[in-house]
Structure 1
Amino acid sequence: MTSTIIAILLLITFIGFIAFIMKGGNLMIGFFVMAILWSVIGLIPFDTAIQKVFAEPALNYGPTIIYIVFGSWFGQVLVDSGIAPSISAATNKVGKKRPFFAAILVVLVTSLIFVSAYGVGSVIAIGVILLPILLSVGLPRDLALSIFSLAIGAPMYLNVVLYNQMKAFFPKAHYAGTYLVFGICAMVVQLIVVLALILLNRKKINPANTEQNLAVIGANDDADEIQKVPAITYIIPVIPVAMNMIFKWDAIPGLTLGVLLAMLLTGKLTSNFKNSIKFLNDTIQTSISNIAGLIMFLMALTFFTGAASLNAARFKPIFEALLPHNTLILCLAIGILAPLALFRGPLHVWGAGAATAAVLPGTGLFSDAFMLPLMYTVTLMAVSTDITQSWNVWGLEYMKVDSKAFLKYGVPAMWLVTIINELLVYHFFG
């Protein structure tokens, strides 16, 4: 009887937490409060709660925080060394003569950069270069913003910073081997759909509207004024992934090698010791300050995950009854229901789906290796096209685009991508 009452109370707070998130509540505070509530309601002994909810989960997550720090630092180096802006500006050379090809090139360049770069700061730094280029070749503002956001989302399957945020939910998954092959395939699927979106809307590309669109956002087609760097540096963004795939390197040495090569090839690692140290200090301070809030959010998440794991057995009968045991059916169901990830909904792990993702691993119904890509794929639908995603919010304001027009392009495209990629999840992990 007592166990039933506890399960009901946990479920009530679970639903309340989802409602709190859906109304825009602060996730960090929500996770922290839920960790306390589930420890109390679940009758977890005080000493056990201190150790298993608030100490061990945070300490065990420490190595993942290091990956996020190094990933953020690498992304900042790409921006501040001039590599990312130079790659972006290089696309402008073909834009005036071949608008359709220029739009495709911008998509590919954006994805190349965000294999490693991450965060709203990096998106803004690159967006103020690439978005005016898209407008300068004649794309309408809503289409330009949509393909730019979708192109950012595609390489997030391989982005070590975002992947390691997912590991807070599924700690036994590994960024290596089969996952990397899946990630590349999933990224290619999304890029193909983005390119198809451009092709289907190619008649809307009208260079005659260039000046008007640039005037609306208050921008100029000035990509040629950006300082150029050696063309060989354009391969730097993929070095960490390549080192992992070819030589089985861990992400930390791969990211460190990328930083050193970026500095060396762009002249930031010079005989002037003070300038080199200043560049290092500036990029480190900026990158860490950019993720300070994220780290504390992830700490709160690990607290809740610890409490959820101790109470997971109470939810196992519920999930066993609700979830399909056939992994193919589950993958198809998640793909079909993918729009539920929008607006921080129940399939978005950094939204209402966080509660579900935190509880599921503890039930033991599915492996972390399967659950991570299953939930990651549907979450990336929201990352790519949701109007609550931080950089999409910035993009809507910068480009003066109505949210309905943005969703009109992004949602159908990403719905198709998600269904296909969920089938890839089944193929590789199911």
Structure 2
Amino acid sequence: MTNLIIGILLLLTFFAFIYFVMRGGNIMIGFFFMALLWTIIGGISYKVAINDIFSQPALDYGSTIVVIIFGSWFGRVLVDTQIAGSISEQTIRVSHKHPIVAAILVCIVTAFIFTSSYGVGAVIAVGVILLPILESLGLPKNVSVAAFVLSVGAPMYVNIVIIKQIQLFFPKVLYGSKYLGYGFAAMIVQMLVVVIFILVHAKLIHANEEIVEEKNKNGDDILDKKSAPIYSYFIPIMPVFMNLAFGWQPIPALLLSIILALLLTGNMVSYRHCLKLINSTINKSVSDISGLLVMLFILTMFSAAAVKNTARFSAILHNIIPHNPLIIAIAFAILAPLALFRGPLMVWGAGSATAAVIAGTEFFNQYFGFALIIVPAVSMAVSACVTQSWNLWALEYTKLDPKKFLVTGVPWAWGTCALNLLLAVVMFN
């Protein structure tokens, strides 16, 4: 009876947290108070709370934070060595006689870049080049922005920075062939949805030959002035390749990729210049994710409190959460829009509580549980929500109405969620 009462109180605070976040409350503060409340309500002893909730989890998460920092640094190096920009600008060379093919190519290039690159700074650096190209090809603003951010979101299924954050809840999920097989499949599914999205809007693509030709000329000028050599274009996929081909861990794979990026772009010719670029990229990359790092440390505390309280509400959840993988996948697919606005299916928002509960109940194997959480987070929240930092930047940059953006992108993101959740049922059960 005591467990039932405590379980109900814990679930009430869970819903209060969801309400708090969706009303615009600070997520980091919310995580901290949830950790406190679940510690107190759960009757966790003082010593256990200090050591096992507010100390050790953050210390244990340090190794993951290191990977996130290196991943962010690699993304900044791709931008500042002009590799990301040069790959993007090469798409301008596609003939204006084939605007639909060109638009699809732009989206594929975007996805390729962000398999390893990460951060709002990297998205902005690429977006200021590619968004005007998409519009010049005849895509309306809402279509071009939706296609671009969906393409940025797709590779997040394999991006080490994203994976490491969600591994907090599912530590048995390894960044290796088992998960990456699903990750790349889910990425391809989302990119196929992007291609269909562009084809459906093909009638709106009216190529203006003069404008596109001018864009091509301008793009050639940019490439002539400052661009990375073509033989450096494989660098964005290098960390993932080293992991799959040779079993390398993320940090050495990222370090090798950073060194090759600097070497192949001629930034190691001068020691002073190389050192200046290294210092600059490190400063920018850490600055890009500084708030995220602190939030993740606080999140480890809440996650630890949730695990300690699993027994308190497992009896309630045992009768609520479907035990059949297909049924819960269908339920998550139907409810996928709840990932919008940092809702209860958004792991970097109110959904962190959902992730903690799914992981804590152990009703499913961790790979499937991981998929349940990452799919709505990536395909809905990252790819179609205005609360995602780079999506908000894209709206402001193009002067696109947020409502129009949501109406355009959410249905396609929703469909992607359904497909990738069903894919998880097939691959992980």
Normalized against structure 2, the TM-score is what? 0.95
Residues 47, 210 of structure 1: alpha-carbon distance in 2 compared, 3 angstrom cutoff: farther
Q: Deviations over 1:361-381 (max 9, x none)?
A: 222222322211121011112
Counterparts of 1:152 and 1:95 in 2: how far apart (Å)? 24
Structure 1 distance, partners of 2:247, 2:56, is 28
1:145 and 1:53 map into 2 onto residues whose CA distance is 41
Distance 1:3 1:312 in 2: 10
Distance in 1 (CA, whole Å) between partners of 2:336 and 2:309 is 27
Deviation at 1:95, TM superposition (A): 4.6
Correspondence 1:3 to 2:3:
yes
Q: In structure 2, what is the Cα distance between the partners aligned to 1:80 and 1:237? A: 13
Alignment-derived partner of residue 343 in structure 2: 345
Q: Distance in 2 between matches of 1:200 and 1:421?
A: 21
Is the Cα contact below 8 Å between 1:340 and 1:346 reproduced in 2?
yes
Distance 2:37 2:344 in 1: 20
Residue number in structure 1 paired with 2:377: 379
Partner of 1:248 in structure 2?
247
Matches within 5 A, 1:79-158: 79-158=79-158
Equivalent residue number for residue 320 of structure 1: 318
1:42-81 equivalent positions in 2, closer than 5 A: 42-81=42-81
SS of 1:322's equivalent in the other structure is coil
Write the mapping of 1:284-323 to structure 2, written as runs, cut at 5 A.
284-323=282-321
1:210 and 1:317 map into 2 onto residues whose CA distance is: 67
Give matches, 1:206-217, under 5 Å: 206-208=206-208
Matched, 1:415 2:411: no
1:330 is matched with which residue? 328
Q: CA RMSD in A?
A: 1.9
Contact 1:345 1:352 (8 Å CA) reproduced: yes
- Contact kept? 1:133, 1:221, Cα under 8 Å: no
- Equivalent residue letter for 1:290: D
Structure 1 residues 202-230: Cα deviation after superposition (integer angstroms, max 9, x where no partner): 11012349969x9xxxx998433142211
Q: What residue ranges of structure 2 are gaps of 5+ in the alignment?
A: none
Cα deviation digits, residues 18-42 of structure 1 (max 9, x gap): 1101101111111111111111121
CA contact (8 A) 2:42 2:312 kept: no
Q: Is the CA contact (8 Å cut-off) linking 1:136 and 1:210 kept in structure 2?
A: no
Corresponding position of 2:393? 394
TM value normalised by structure 1: 0.95
Unaligned stretches of 5+ residues in structure 1: none
Query: Comparing 186-195 with 328-337, which one deviates more in the overlay?
Result: 328-337
CA distance in 2, matches of 1:376, 1:417: 12
- The aligned counterpart of 1:223 is 219
- Which residue number corresponds to residue 23 of structure 2? 23
Q: Assess if the C-alpha contact under 8 Å between 2:139 and 2:205 holds in 1.
A: yes
Q: State the number of aligned residues.
A: 424
Q: After superposition, what is the alpha-carbon deviation per residue over 1:390-415, rounded to whole angstroms, capped at 9, x for unaligned?
A: 11111111111122322232112111
Instruction: State the alpha-carbon separation in 2 of the partners of residues 105 and 164 from structure 1.
Output: 29
| Greater Cα offset, 41-50 or 80-89 | 41-50
1:139 is displaced (CA, Å) by 1.4
In structure 2, C-alpha distance between the alignment counterparts of 1:185 and 1:382, rounded to whole Å: 19
Residue 268 of structure 1: CA displacement? 0.9
Q: Please tell me whether the aligned partners of residues 72 and 118 of structure 1 are also in contact (alpha carbons under 8 angstroms).
A: yes
Contact 2:69 2:285 in 1 (8 A): yes
CA contact (8 A) 2:170 2:370 kept: yes
Is residue 72–residue 161 contact of structure 1 (8 Å, CA) maintained in 2? Answer: yes
% identical aligned pairs: 51
- Aligned position for 2:232: 233
Work out whether residues 74 and 117 of structure 1, in 8 Å CA contact, stay in contact via their aligned partners in 2.
Answer: yes
* Per-residue CA distance 1:175-196 (angstroms, 9 max, x = gap): 1121101111111111111011
Is the 8 Å Cα contact of residues 329 and 422 (structure 2) preserved in structure 1? Answer: yes
* Separation of aligned partners in 1, 2:357 and 2:407: 33
One-letter amino acid matched to 1:122: A
Query: What is the distance in 1 between the residues matched to 2:216 and 2:103?
Result: 17
- What is the rounded CA distance, in whole Å, between the counterparts of 2:336 and 2:291 in structure 1? 28
Question: Which residue of the partner structure matches residue 261 of structure 1?
Answer: 260
Match of 2:357 in 1: 359
Kept in 2: contact 1:345–1:353 (CA 8 A): yes
